[in-house]
Amino acid sequence: MTLSGVIETIHEKALAENLVASTYGAKAVVNNLVVRPPVSKDDEIRKAIEEAVKSTPVLQKQDIQVNVSEGVVTLKGTVDTLAQSLAAENAAKTARGAVNVVNMLKVVETPRPDREIEKDVVLYLKSSSLVNLDDIEVSVKDGVVSLKGTLDNLSHRYVIMRELEKIRGVRRVDVSGVSVKHT
């Protein structure tokens, strides 16, 4: 399925893609939506994002700087976990007038051994109704979880990726090797 048209926020673009991806029978989504926000000043965008960050409980004690230039938001600073980095990015994407978000936040959590992370990933996948563990291969290197195999639905790939990002020690989740079963 291909999405095209003009919308006002990055958040709307992501919502549209997720909605189509979760539609039964969707095998792939090409998101050609163009973000054209209403005219807004960079300072207003920055203030809105700073307020969104302050009002997100998990981000309140984090060191996050927000810079905006021509609607392009850059997040810098440090956070304790990948989940906090993603929360800050999501907060920025909701700001009216933001055209793009560049997440340069550094995650400074204490690293965990890959084998421990892999055990938690496998435990999650075993308990998930979205995955048949026989259809997925898992590997972890330097905190990066890589999945290969097949799933029944395109939206499952997104949900699994977001859930695995919450596991302590996970720096990134690569689902590029996961495809949708053809029925």
pLDDT digits (tens, 9 = 90+) for 148-178: 999 988 889 989 998 998 888 888 999 999 9
Which residues, in sequence order, are CB contacts of 84 under 8 Å at separation 6+? 58, 59, 62, 105, 107
Residue pair 107/63 in contact (Cβ under 8 Å)? The answer is: no
183: pLDDT confidence band, cut at 50, 70 and 90? low
Give the pLDDT confidence of 13-23 residue by residue, as tens digits: 888 888 888 88
CA torsion sign for 128, 131, 136, 142 is negative
For the chain, which domains are there?
Answer: 2-35 (no CATH), 42-107 (3.30.1340.30), 114-180 (3.30.1340.30)
> Would you state the pLDDT for residue 89?
94
- Predicted structure pTM score: 0.54
Give the pLDDT confidence of 66-114 residue by residue, as tens digits: 999 989 999 999 998 888 999 999 999 988 889 899 999 998 877 789 9
Tell me the pairing of strands 106-107 and 72-79.
parallel
AA identity, residue 156: H
The first and second tokens of residue 31, run together, are: 């998101």
Distance CA 183, CA 179 (A): 12
Residue pair 169/109 in contact (Cβ under 8 Å)? The answer is: yes
28: pLDDT confidence band, cut at 50, 70 and 90? confident
Phi/psi zone of residue 147: left (φ > 0), alpha (ψ -120 to 50 degrees), beta? beta
**DSSP secondary structure code for residue 60 in this structure:** T
> Would you state the pLDDT for residue 80?
85
End-to-end C-alpha distance for the chain, whole angstroms: 17
Distance CA 99, CA 18 (A): 19
